[in-house]
Amino acid sequence: MSGPDGTSVVELRGASLHYGSHSLWEGLDLHVGPGEFIAVLGPNGVGKTSLLRVLLGLAQLSSGRVTVLGRPPRRGSPLVGYVPQQRAFDPGLPLRGRDLVHLGLDGHRWGLVRPVSGHPALVSAALNEVEAQAYADAPVGLLSGGEQQRLRVAQALISDPALLLCDEPLLSLDLNSQRVVVDLLDGRRHRHETTVLFVTHEINPILPVVDRVLYLAPGSWAEGHPDEVLTSDTLSRLYGTSVDVLRVRGRVIVVGAPDEPDAALGAPGHAHVHRSEHEDRGDRS
Amino acid sequence: MSFANLLGQHFVHTALLAGAVVAVLSGAVGIFVVIRSMSFAVHAVSELGFTGAAGALVLGVSPVLGLLVGSLIVGAVLGALTVRGRERDAAVGSFLAFGLGVGVLLISLYRGYATKALTLLFGSIVGVNDAQLAVLGGVAVLVLAVLAFAYRPLLFSSVDPEAAEARGVSLRLMSILLLLLVALATAEAVQVVGVLLVLTLVITPAAAATRLTARPMVALVLSIVIAFGATEGGILLSLVKPWPTSFFISAISFAVYVVARGVGAARETRAGRAVATAEPRAPVRAATEVP
């Protein structure tokens, strides 16, 4: 599935990110190919969102190399879609779902808007893809979180991206809406080979569709199949303290991870754990 | 002089034209201000424009020039500080308070007619002369041209900053650009309704418009129409009854806002029902997930 021979959608080599003297992650290597669904996990403040910002061209690596679709990340590339977490729109916001999706196509463009706006067919197609036609003309502020997130997915997909970056898109959604959004993303990557990089603190809703997991912990990281990474062994090594990973009725529960009370994650197996310079870097389990 | 006679006067024509220019500008810029919830920043820009005008009076130059310079400086500073628009309330408040303090000092230093300063606070549309009208028109054309050119990134960064940034829109640039436009619109509106009543043209019409439609472009046009109606109506009423024009403008503007709220509440209920029928909402998930 991954390897130096395959086409690269996301490529990180020895990538590090620091803010001042504070290091978020170090020596990160990652190769992601077309159509892969990658979960990016880890506790708050470990630099998951910062990783997405690097891939969006909004932040620079402190050291190392990064390419997206074979080139350095470029701000505003139409080949990269972005789905942020759901946030409450003001009920009085003068914006319909249709407008929100349309902005994903040309919202960044300068210049006069033609009276008959340019791309009703593309907007319609995007709305159909996420089955949001029924409420496309309602004010976005009156829609439920799940409906808003469908529109978000449509907004991200309308430029026909090869890479979709999702930042906690399921946060504050009910279980049913979570499933709908995950199915939309999974369906998209199977039909169009769209690569999905999915930042989340909650693996369970996406566990059935995830190919690989990138687990970022303070000062170290691990990458591999969920069954390899999400184990008591690997996470204990990552955190440098005793962490238990339980599997209950097909769900993954992590107990004892610092800064992550009752977070839910992984399954048994083995994975490579990478540590930054002060620790036993290159340690293999 | 009768109402009919007044309507034939040149100064009344000038006032109506100036009012129209200012209304179109305030209504258009106001939509973005309302979307970003930055009424307070507008208030600050206008009051600090007053400080600029007071400084101009002391220096013996045109208060309108001082107004423009003061508003633009404050607009640029606040634009750079308040990238997400709704944040940094306290920053705006601190600048506002200090700037007004300086304004008080400048007015006390000014040895001319106190009415000039009072005019700035409460506006005096009938005092606009032909030369000022030309400046008003020129600034309005400039602001509307920039607004038309930057409409999409301005809207995107206002309604959906996270996604806009990911698509390459510079939030800081948009914030500064919008506050500069706000500064120019405010400096114009001050000459009609005065520093203290700027919000009646920059906020109220746009707030009413957003209650009436969910289409951004329609809201923009409605906001302009409401601001236009309030300004021209206010000027005409002040010819009939010699009360301050600013009062009539703010009264009409507010009346439209109250009606729009009522209409909007009814519309929201209908839309809410329509959405509920289109897709039944799942119950809100509890904080801890139930398997």
pLDDT at residue number A3: 43
CB B198 within 8 A of CB B185: no
Give the model's confidence band at B280: pLDDT under 50 very low, under 70 low, under 90 confident, else very high: very low
- The residue ranges of every structural domain in chain B are 3-196
Which of B86, B155, B158, B167 is the best mutation test for A, with the most CBs of A within 10 A? Answer: B167
Q: Of A222-231, B59-68, B216-225, B230-239, where does mean pLDDT reach its minimum?
A: B59-68
Output the six-digit token pair for A25: 């992650």
Q: What is the pLDDT of residues A217-261, one digit of tens each?
A: 988 999 999 999 999 999 999 998 899 999 988 889 998 887 654
- Amino acid in position A155: Q
pLDDT band, residue B87 (cuts 50/70/90)? low
Q: Does B85 touch chain A (CB under 8 A)?
A: no
Condensed to tens digits (0 to 9), the pLDDT of residues B230-260 reads 999 999 999 999 898 999 999 999 999 999 9
Q: How many CB atoms sit inside 10 A of residue A194's CB?
A: 23
| Contact state of A95 with B159 under an 8 Å Cβ cutoff | yes
With a pLDDT cut of 70, the percent of chain B lying above it is 89
Residue B271 backbone phi and psi in degrees, to 5? -60, -40
Measured between CA atoms, the residue of chain A closest to residue B288 is A262
pLDDT-derived band at A101, boundaries 50, 70, 90: very high
Helix (H) or strand (E) holding A27: strand A22-32
- Architecture, CATH, for domain B3-196: Orthogonal Bundle (1.10)
Mean pLDDT of B63-82: 86
Q: What angle do CA A4, A6, A10 make, to 5 degrees?
A: 80
> CB–CB of B275/A170 below 8 Å?
no
The rounded distance, in Å, linking the Cα atoms of B224 and B19 is 12
All residues of chain B having their beta carbon less than 8 Å from the beta carbon of residue A152 are 163
Which residue has tokens 């907007």? A123
- Residue B290: is its pLDDT beyond 50? no
Task: Set out the domains of chain A in order of their start, with CATH numbers.
Answer: 10-275 (3.40.50.300)
pLDDT digits (tens, 9 = 90+) for A41-95: 998 889 999 999 999 999 999 999 999 999 999 999 999 999 998 888 988 899 9
Mean pLDDT of chain A: 87
- Half-sphere exposure (CA, 13 Å, Cβ side) for A135? 28
Query: What gap in Å lies between CA A15 and CA A242, rounded to an integer?
Result: 28
Banded pLDDT at B158 (limits 50, 70, 90): very high
Contacts of A75 in chain B (CB under 8 A): 168
**Summary mean pLDDT of chain B:** 86
Q: What is the ipTM of this complex?
A: 0.86
Return the number of CB contacts < 8 Å for A and B.
139
B145 interfacial to chain A (CB closer than 8 Å): no
B271 inside 8 A of chain A by CB? yes
Residues in CB range of B215: below 8 A, 6 or more apart: A94, A96, A99
Q: Which tokens belong to A19? A: 């803010």
User: Which chain B residues are closer than 8 Å to A147 by Cβ?
Assistant: 275, 279
Scan residues 208-267 of B and list those with Cβ closer than 8 Å to A.
209-211, 213-219, 264
Q: Look at residue B144 and give its three-state secondary structure.
A: helix
How does pLDDT run across B164-184, given as a tens digit for each residue? Answer: 999 999 999 999 999 999 999
Q: A56 and B271: CB-CB below 8 Å?
A: no
Q: What percent of chain A has pLDDT over 90?
A: 69
Mean pLDDT lowest for which of A103-107, B181-185, B266-270? Answer: B266-270
Mark yes or no for CB contact A113/B217 under 8 Å: yes
Chain A positions touching B211 (Cβ under 8 A) are 92
Distance in angstroms between the alpha carbons of the first and the last residue of chain B = 80
Mean per-residue pLDDT, A253-275: 58
Shortest CA distance from B289: residue in chain A: A175
Q: Which of A206, A203, A242, A235 is nearest to A221 (CA)?
A: A235
Q: Mean pLDDT over residues B122-147, rounded?
A: 88
- Give B24 to chain A, closest Cα distance, Å: 18
pLDDT at position B88, please? 67
